[in-house]
Chains A and B, each alone.
Chain A
């Protein structure tokens, strides 16, 4: 990724060259990135704001005069890093040209934010907002001014594997002041399709939660394109003022084209194009190549609207009559508990069998009802499972709906990430994984899709992570496994916007000054992030960190940081080393020799001052020292036990000792007497001799 530095570097001039005139310093409150772009946070450009990003003026010090602006993605939103990586430096015609992007410290938010610098559109937005009314674009201008450029842009994006998912009238811009060149706006500052109102999304995408729509398919972009064209043709949003539920109801009831175009007077030449783009069947919806052909005058095959099977008899639900599955499933999702009753009492099954004459579907509903009721667990959980699965059967194209939570499989990961970021309840996501909702959705699909097979492995792993309550697993691991470019959400370093493993230690080093140093610098999020992004390098160490013994766990924590520094740098992390050094208590106490403990305590500050964690780790967990300590301790224990035994024997062996003393005394007495006798004879004999 691009890291944007803030401080300019000195440049060297060749010999003989004179220094150029100095560039006047920018005036105002700003940050400098890449040593050239000054982003003024006291000069907002509200007219270019995005729903989840604010626009500010930018000056390029190396090329003054270039019209640029920056979008600062809000901290509580995720940006599409994978798309930015592709778009940077790659001009895509008829889109806002990205100049640069990266994470940089943003003073107003007091943290790092994603910043994207674009060329500034000089003509402003094509439509100020979806509630605005603008002058209709003349029919003859549509193909050249709007359709062709946007179609070309979508072709190029498609070639790069990118779905835009932010096509709407207020995200189109005039690049020139003459308002002749229209370009597609930003699609990177928020999660795919999350800024799209329901009116601009297909029925299925509209039914999903905004963060769970996923990157979608090119057909989703074509739908949004079609609605955009319709709005520009009408000069307004034909569904303005309606709620999201009402919009979906109308689309489901009459089809998207009829709901949107209705009685509106559309340009005749545009009708065929709009019908093609707004067909609800993604298979029949026009691809971008079809637009090209249409522009060039080729007659396209008329779109055959597939009508859903209707029942002769109505099904009463929520005080309404329903004759088809899809609209009924929409209402059942909104009246969850009533839906459970309707399924459990068999009325739904009967209506499907007799009204819709769909025995397969009726059998499937009955089987699901039987299975879920037989499963252990409480009734509420069983009903939730039941309704979720039955809704999938009734409308396989819809997203997975579970009470108030709905998501596509593809969008589950980003939805989970946003929920974590915004500190929302994660229980629906945990239930989603543990109850295998994905499996039921895949099995409810009528058509095979090669992507379905991949979900087996993905969700199997997620379920295993959920079973493991240790650090490095759990729901945190799931979110990083599902989102390749999610930054580390640990409260310790989230402000540093860490996207790669090699940035973890520098981030911890920065925050060490203000963090609670009694806590470990490796929390559940960081260990899950490392495990996900760098499993080979940190897996064993993170497992050690989960050990029950405090000394082993602390050693594991130190080893995690040490191995990351050793393999990925940086060379020194003074702040982090000091933080970690203060947590070495359990490791020090694991040594039995008190002298050794004092030695380690004396040495740790010296090693901390070097800022080298591998060295610190090698010192506190030296295998030879450990062995020496263990052996010494064993000897000491044996010595203590032997002394204890001797004392016991000395204290309790009084009788034996007395007996010995008696014996020894008699022997001594006898000996003394014999000596005296010998001396007496010797003295007497010597006296006699002399």
Chain B
């Protein structure tokens, strides 16, 4: 990323950041689980961080909305951060995000295995039909070609 772009982003972000300091304060603490998730799962891509981060943000949504509509102040921001229940909700949603991130792959894997099994059965039925129609001479055995390594 060249310096001009970085400068452009900073020129945009700083004024916006100054305008949304209370939101930034809330988000800085509220999105700590998301940061952890991004760091921990960075080897497997961004999906871990996105999943936890999205749920993190979802947990923070009512409080942020309240902040935006009922006084966008630093005091209100600290009020949210010192509310145990609010922290519980925000971090609880992040935990839920972790749970989603942990379980969804196995669910998908199970589904894919089921699908493969059905697909194999369908292919076998198709082959039986071919043999019925064309006789056993139509059969053949698949032999995987060896990949030559340089």
Contacts and interface: CB of A to CB of B under 8 A. Distances in A.
Contacts of A129: none
B54 A676 contact: yes
Interface in A648-673: 648, 650-651, 654, 657-658, 660-670, 672-673
Interface stretch (B1-9, B10-18, B41-49): B41-49
Contacts of A307: none
B104 A640 contact: no
A593 interface: yes
A672 B103 CA distance: 12
A685 B65 contact: yes
A636 B105 contact: no
B100 A672 contact: yes
B51 A673 contact: yes
Interface string A584-625: 000000001111000000000000000000000000000000
Given A593-B133, A666-B48, A688-B69, A650 B119 contact: yes
Given A647-B120, A670-B50, A681-B65, A664 B134 contact: no
A251 B130 CA distance: 85
A663 B47 CA distance: 9
Interface in A625-651: 632-633, 636-637, 639-641, 643-648, 650-651
B107 to A, nearest CB: 7
B55 interface: yes
B47 A648 contact: no
B105 A664 contact: yes
B109 A669 contact: no
A675 to B, nearest CB: 8
A491 to B, nearest CB: 37
Contact of B54 (A647, A665, A677): A677
Given A646-B123, A667-B47, 15 more contacts: A633-B134, A657-B112, A657-B116, A661-B105, A661-B111, A663-B105, A664-B108, A665-B106, A665-B109, A672-B104, A676-B58, A677-B61, A680-B61, A681-B57, A684-B61
A640 B130 contact: yes
Nearest to A673: B54
A651 B65 contact: no
B51 A670 contact: yes
Contact of A643 (B45, B69, B127): B127
B126 A676 contact: no
B137 A661 contact: no
**Secondary structure at chain B's binding surface: helix, strand, loop or mixed?**
helix
Contacts of A673: 50-55, 58, 97, 100-101
Contacts of A660: 112
A122 interface: no
A665 B105 contact: yes
A592 B137 contact: yes
A648 B116 CA distance: 11
Contacts of B48: 666, 670
B28 interface: no
A651 to B, nearest CB: 7
B73 interface: no
B47 A637 contact: no
Contacts of B107: 665
Contact of A666 (B54, B55, B104, B144): B104
A640 B139 CA distance: 7
Nearest to A654: B113
B131 to A, nearest CB: 8
Contact of B47 (A641, A661, A666, A685): A666
B142 A666 contact: no
Contacts of B54: 670, 673-674, 676-677
B82 interface: no
16 contacts: A594-B132, A636-B133, A643-B123, A648-B144, A650-B120, A662-B108, A662-B109, A663-B45, A664-B112, A665-B104, A666-B101, A669-B105, A670-B48, A670-B50, A673-B97, A677-B61
B109 A658 contact: yes
Contacts of A657: 109, 112-113, 116
B84 interface: no
B67 to A, nearest CB: 11
Nearest to B117: A650
Contacts of B106: 661, 665
B113 A641 contact: no
Nearest to A664: B108
Contacts of B53: 673
A644 B142 contact: yes
Q: Which of B61, B106, B137 has the most CB of A within 10 A?
A: B61
A326 B120 CA distance: 93
Contacts of B79: none
Interface in A287-340: none
Contacts of B71: none
A663 B105 CA distance: 7
Nearest to A689: B69
B51 A648 contact: no
A328 to B, nearest CB: 71
A640 B57 CA distance: 52
A-B residue pairs, 7 tightest by C-beta: A665-B105, A661-B109, A669-B104, A673-B54, A666-B47, A665-B108, A680-B58
Contact of B134 (A592, A651, A669, A685): A592
B126 to A, nearest CB: 5
A643 B119 CA distance: 10
A658 to B, nearest CB: 6
Contacts of B126: 639, 643
A29 to B, nearest CB: 59
A662 B127 contact: no
A663 B59 CA distance: 25
B43 to A, nearest CB: 12
A256 to B, nearest CB: 76
Contact of B112 (A639, A645, A661): A661
Nearest to B116: A650
Contacts of A681: 57-58, 61, 65
B142 A645 contact: yes
B133 A595 contact: yes
Contacts of B130: 636, 639-640, 643
Given A595-B133, A650-B120, A670-B47, A677 B55 contact: yes
